[in-house]
Structure 1
Amino acid sequence: MTEALDEWSEFNVAMVGATAALAGLLIVAMSVNIGTILKSATLPARAAVGIATLVLAIAVTGLALAPEQPSAVYGGVVLVLTLLVGGFQVHAIRVIRADSSEHHGTPAQQLAKSIVGTLPLGLYLAGAIALLAGAVVVGLWLLAVATILAIAAAILYSWVVLIEVLR
């Protein structure tokens, strides 16, 4: 797997650096309004899933830079980390749906909102399974797409948190 990962090293270096910088900026932005965020029923869960998703992207791309890593080990670690972040996602969905003060839209709109956060996690899971099955190239491509979507989803969650603070 080392050769396959070597081909992705520039991508992973760029993603881990950019994602870590973004995570730092979002944590600072949220900490300015932490009192207001904590008073909300849903904002802490949204903030947590946004940050957890960014940490997952950092971990997946950072661990890809580790030398001489067997694909099964990398796939197993990605699988475990994704399941952990999936717990944050499930918690956020439950908290948001349980909040009676928010209008959640039609069932189709609710599904679309849930897909935003779960799609990257599904791709991380698929990539991890592909790596565990020995389909290294497919697995690495799935992880790359998942990372980009995870960053986009985390930005969206964080944007909602920061906008809701100002309402």
Structure 2
Amino acid sequence: MTDALDGWSEFNVAMLGATAALAGLLIVAMSVNIGSIMQSKTLPARAAASIATLVLAIVATGLALAPGQPIWLYGLEVLVAAGIAAAFEAHAVSTIFRDELHPGSPVELAGKSAAGLVPVVVYLVGAALVVGGAVPVGLMLIGIGAILAIVSAIVLAWVVLVEVLR
């Protein structure tokens, strides 16, 4: 762990535990309703994106605790993980915009997509700043991304579970 990450260790330990626990609960909740989720055109992609965002938070906070890595490498690791999560989010957004059963205006569809996109974008910007040398601001954004990932996952999980019961 570099000096820049030393001050973040307690935050990362707390977020790693909370995010991992939430991911486990989310997977259990989704598995109980998997038959209904799989019948929807959009819910599987939205559920996968929600889990991918939590996995991103787990990876980012866990890697921040790894000793001895240069800060630029940590930024690169988070950037790669955020890119993978972004692919899941892009697929979810695509399915939302192509959903024929629940059409909406572009503003409504963008609103449905925003909850999942915001944490990933914050992670991407934060990681890019760390790689580029703006370490304090980048680490702050990565920390904000971790919190937003939890909020986003809770909101998206609620949406998926409510949609299953409709």
**Normalising by structure 2, what TM-score?**
0.95
1:8-87 to structure 2, matched below 5 A, reads 8-87=8-87
Structure 1 runs of 4+ off > 4 angstroms?
none
- The corresponding residue for 2:120 is 121
1:81-96 to structure 2, matched below 5 A, reads 81-96=81-96
- The corresponding residue for 1:109 is 108
What is the distance in 1 between the residues matched to 2:114 and 2:25?
Answer: 25
What is the distance in 2 between the residues matched to 1:101 and 1:60?
Answer: 36
Instruction: Give unpaired runs (5+ residues) of structure 2.
Output: none
Offset of residue 47 of structure 1: 0.6
Offset of residue 157 of structure 1: 1.1
What is the distance in 2 between the residues matched to 1:157 and 1:61?
Answer: 21
Q: Secondary structure at the match of 2:67?
A: coil
17-26 or 122-131, which moves further after superposition? 122-131
What is the distance in 1 between the residues matched to 2:23 and 2:41?
Answer: 23
What is the distance in 1 between the residues matched to 2:39 and 2:70?
Answer: 45
What is the distance in 2 between the residues matched to 1:35 and 1:148?
Answer: 30
Offset of residue 40 of structure 1: 1.1
Offset of residue 110 of structure 1: 2.3
1:142-153 to structure 2, matched below 5 A, reads 142-153=141-152
Q: Secondary structure at the match of 1:95?
A: helix
1:134 aligns with 2:148: no
- The number of aligned residues is 166
What is the distance in 1 between the residues matched to 2:93 and 2:106?
Answer: 13
Identity %: 59
What is the distance in 1 between the residues matched to 2:111 and 2:31?
Answer: 28
Offset of residue 141 of structure 1: 0.3
Q: Map Cα deviations across residues 70-115 of structure 1 (whole Å, 9 max, x no partner).
A: 11111111111111111100100111111111133x3322223322
What is the distance in 2 between the residues matched to 1:123 and 1:29?
Answer: 27
RMSD value over aligned CA atoms? Answer: 1.2
